[in-house]
Amino acid sequence: MNMYNPVVRRVAEPSEKTRIAREILEALTEWFEVPEYREEYIRESSGQIFFAAEENGEETGFLCLKETGKPTVELAVMGVRKEFHRHGTGKALFEAAKECAAAAGYDYLQVKTVETGHYEEYDRTNLFYRSLGFQELEVIPEIWGKHNPCQIYVMSLKKGRDLTKLIMSRRSYRGKYKPDRVPREDLRTILEAGLAAPSGCNKQTTSLVAVDDPEILKQINAAIDPPVCETAPAMICVLSQRINAYRDRCFATQDYAAAIENMLLAVTALGYQSCWYEGHITDTDRICDEIARILNVPEDYELVCILPVGKALSEPGTPKKKPFEERAWFNGFGNTEK
């Protein structure tokens, strides 16, 4: 736990920004040695996104962000008074800036420093940036001269956002498919996503069969009445084993549900469409058993679901979902307080 308590605030007033920048940078001449460069940082800070850190009412550090491209923002300058190093101040400033940059819609965050191996102080700065998750992009000696090779670090701000967007864009597709084959490597990626899902006590009760042989697909589709995936160029059949996780607790249903959702997301990520067909094949007519027979599935496995896979010929429907407030809350059932 951090025994110090740095507090970070956003500063809006230009004169307050330059005052704080001056006070901190003039106390850090080991890093900001050349007066002209220091003055430039101070001057430019007035127009930048500015965060100040305080500890027990004392200003201890600051950080500025500046846009360097439409999707990219640069951590332009950052300074923490030496006596407050190792208090978590730099990290707190960085976290506030990163959150602000991501919320403003930027995709990348970059920062420049002197390459490792030239000066002890900058070696520590490099370690600090790496510990925050920055990755090496390039070293360019021309920027600050060959005695100070410029190391550029970069960080993606998109990670979580991309996945959330993908999750939100998945839909059940019940239209026709293009006849194009699904490459084996894509089918393998989808199967691997299914196998990567969690399972109760890691019993891994779910197994999968991908079918892309047109002859076998034809036999399977002949058994599906009414037909629902006859145009799909591939299909994944989900098999489940009723193995107890512990005592009499069997999580096979939860296991295959997690595997299916993982696969549906992988399908979406790769640009294909699918639909979770379970009700349709496990009803009283037991289409699932006929598909299992075609695929030589042993008796102790149940075929529980099929997922067609292919490129869509039309747009998937958009089913109406209940509003957030009707199904999800914070700190108590039905609590709609913000």
Ligand X SMILES: Cc1cc2nc3c(=O)[nH]c(=O)nc-3n(C[C@H](O)[C@H](O)[C@H](O)COP(=O)(O)O)c2cc1C
Q: Alpha helix (H) ranges present in the chain?
A: 14-25, 35-45, 89-103, 120-132, 159-169, 184-195, 214-223, 252-269, 287-294, 324-327
Q: Note whether 176 binds ligand X by CB under 6 A.
A: no
Which one of 9-17, 203-211, 235-243, 276-284 is the stretch in contact with ligand X (CB under 6 A)?
276-284
How far is Cα 10 from Cα 61, in angstroms, rounded to an integer? 12
Pairing of strands 72-80, 108-114: parallel
Please select the residue that binds ligand X; options are 60, 277, 287, 292, rule is CB under 6 A: 277
Q: Which of 57, 271, 279, 298 binds ligand X (CB under 6 A)?
A: 279
Contact (CB, 8 A) for 303 and 292: yes
* Per CB under 6 A, 66 contacts ligand X: no
User: Whose Cβ is closer to ligand X: residue 24's or residue 287's?
Assistant: 287
- Minimal distance, residue 313 CB to ligand X, in Å: 17
Binding residue (CB under 6 A) for ligand X from 280, 306, 309, 310: 280
* Closest approach of ligand X to the CB of residue 307, in Å: 10
Residue 42 or 232 with smaller CB distance to ligand X: 232
Which one of residues 108, 119, 144, 276 is an interface residue with ligand X (CB under 6 A)?
Answer: 276
Check the CA dihedral 315-219-214-296 and report its sign: positive
128 binds ligand X (CB under 6 A): no
Which DSSP symbol is given to 121? Answer: H
Counted residue by residue, the chain has a size of 338
Query: Would you call 47 exposed, middle or buried from its count of C-beta atoms within 10 A (0-12, 13-18, 19+)?
Result: exposed
Q: Which of 134, 5, 31 is nearest to 75 (CA)?
A: 134
Distance CA 250, CA 230 (A): 34
Query: Which residues from 32-61 bind ligand X, rule CB under 6 A?
Result: none
Distance from C-alpha of 52 to C-alpha of 81, rounded to nearest angstrom = 12
- Contacts of residue 24, defined as CB under 8 A and 6 or more positions apart, other chains included, come to 59, 60, 61, 62, 79, 80, 81
Residue 272 touches ligand X, criterion: CB under 6 A:
no
φ, ψ (nearest 5 deg) of residue 212 = -130, 5
Binding segment for ligand X among 41-49, 74-82, 178-186, 273-281 (CB under 6 A)? 273-281
CB of 223 to ligand X, least distance (A): 15
Give the shortest CB-318-to-ligand X separation in angstroms: 7
Nearest to 223 by CA among 305, 288, 298, 297: 288
Among 319, 323, 332, 334, binds ligand X (CB under 6 A): 319
Residue 197 lies near ligand X (rule: CB under 6 A): no
For the segment 220-259, give every residue that binds ligand X (CB under 6 A). none
The nearer residue to ligand X, 65 or 305, going by C-beta atoms, is: 305
278 binds ligand X (CB under 6 A): yes
* Nearest distance from C-beta of residue 62 to ligand X, angstroms: 46
Residue 49 or 260 with smaller CB distance to ligand X? 260
Among 171, 176, 203, 311, binds ligand X (CB under 6 A): 171
- Binding residues for ligand X, rule: CB under 6 A, are 171-172, 174, 275-280, 319
